Amino acid sequence: MNQLPIRIPFVDLNLQHRPIEFELQQAIQEVLNRGDFILGKGLSDFETAFASACGTEYGVGVASGTDAIALGLQACNIGIGDEVILPANTFIATLIGVLRAGAKPILVDCHPETALIDLEAATKAITAQTKAIIPVHLYGQMVSPRQLLDLADTYKLLIFEDAAQAHLAEREGYRAGSVGIAAAFSFYPSKNLGAFGDGGMLVTRDADVVAKMRCLRNYGASQKYVHIEIGTNSRLDSLQAAVLHQKLPYLSQWNSDRLTLAQQYDLELAPLASAGIIPMENQSSTGHVYHLYVVKVKDTFPLKRQQLQDHLTAGGIQTGIHYPIPCHLQPALAYLGYQPGDFPITELLAKQILSLPIYPGLKNTQVTEIATTIKSSCIAVST
């Protein structure tokens, strides 16, 4: 098969940035003019604005989403001696955050229809040592806030949200980041709200958590040269904050563009359901912010997932897999003692899932083209 050049990339950030290039340059220029690169006005302004957009009170900008989880858990006094329940089906950073905080990660399986944490499995995993649960709002869809709050209330657990893929997502009247004691966001460039580099934020309405978090990100200093924690250096640069703040007003439009594209995919892929292409279920109506659009390629489909991916690549369409190797089977985590077969749904999904391009600026005609290329793959294989 002749490989065409990439015509539809998996992500294209230029489409998002080009229309607002001038104002982004101005925002950067203002930071240059002020010269307050670290913990400057650009940062505190953005922290307030982002926390408020999430329906909560305080934000603490840090160097990455991973740091927002690791330091955030510490700021919530979750650490040595504590068990933390989290899904096996997540990006490894969630797990790294728990380990860095010194807590013991307890992995649980996910739902096959949504890929979100299975709260029944989580309930079974609760022990006297369980201090917190980390719902990961995966692919842009929140874990049910009502069920989470019920669980946390019944068993006296803290909820710490990993909202790295769910900026402004909503479900059951709650917004991502406003459900638990605190929530971690990532501003990695391809996230729904992305910086021009790495960045992250912890949001919370707890004044004690915010004070400890500000201290931890700044060498553990409560005031200059007075160190009350063994902290680290993890601050969101004023430059990145200025870029993010400039982009923030566009975020809900960008999210609704993603939703519209997802709805089009749902419609155009529906005829392939019987053949074995099954999109992940949206259980939150218009509150899903579709960081990723993920389908399952079932065994019944005429092509293996790899073959379908190759067929799309040959047609100039880039796709992804989020994630191909579950956390519990990662080489670095073998010491935790998990085995293949421990989380059957997570392991099955890792073999079946395929992420299709979805981003603001992707055209409806391109979604049609992707759907058509998937349909044509069945024909390609039978000839």
Ligand X SMILES: *Cc1c(COP(=O)(O)O)cnc(C)c1O
Beta strands in 5-112 (DSSP E): 58-62, 83-87, 104-108
Question: What are the φ/ψ torsions at residue 341 (nearest 5 degrees)?
Answer: 100, -15
User: What one-letter code names the amino acid at 182?
Assistant: A
CB-neighbour burial class of residue 249 (10 A; exposed 0-12, middle 13-18, buried 19+): exposed
Of 145-164, which residues contact ligand X (CB under 6 A)?
162, 164
Yes or no: say if 60 and 201 are a contact pair by the CB < 8 Å rule: yes
Helices (H), 237-363: 238-247, 251-269, 305-314, 344-352
Minimum CB distance to ligand X smaller for 66 or for 284: 66
202 HSE (CA, 13 A, CB side) = 35
Q: How far apart are CA 342 and CA 322, in angstroms?
A: 19
Residue in this structure with the two tokens 């902290």, named with its chain if needed = 231
CB of 164 to ligand X, least distance (A): 3
CB of 298 to ligand X, least distance (A): 25
CA 203 to chain centre: 15
Residue 295 parent element (H or E):
strand 293-297
Yes or no: say if 78 and 158 are a contact pair by the CB < 8 Å rule: yes
Of 52-111, which residues contact ligand X (CB under 6 A)?
64-66, 90-91, 93-94
CB of 190 to ligand X, least distance (A): 9
Site string for ligand X, 188-227 (x = CB under 6 A): x---------x-x---------------------------
* 232 forms part of the interface with ligand X (CB under 6 A): no
Of 327-346, which residues contact ligand X (CB under 6 A)?
none
CB of 202 to ligand X, least distance (A): 12
Chain residue at closest Cβ approach to ligand X: 65
Site string for ligand X, 291-330 (x = CB under 6 A): ----------------------------------------
Minimum CB distance to ligand X smaller for 86 or for 374: 86
CB of 194 to ligand X, least distance (A): 9
User: CA torsion 15→18→19→23, rounded to 10°?
Assistant: 140
CB of 4 to ligand X, least distance (A): 30
CB of 252 to ligand X, least distance (A): 20
Per CB under 6 A, residues contacting ligand X are 64-66, 90-91, 93-94, 136, 162, 164-165, 186, 188, 198, 200
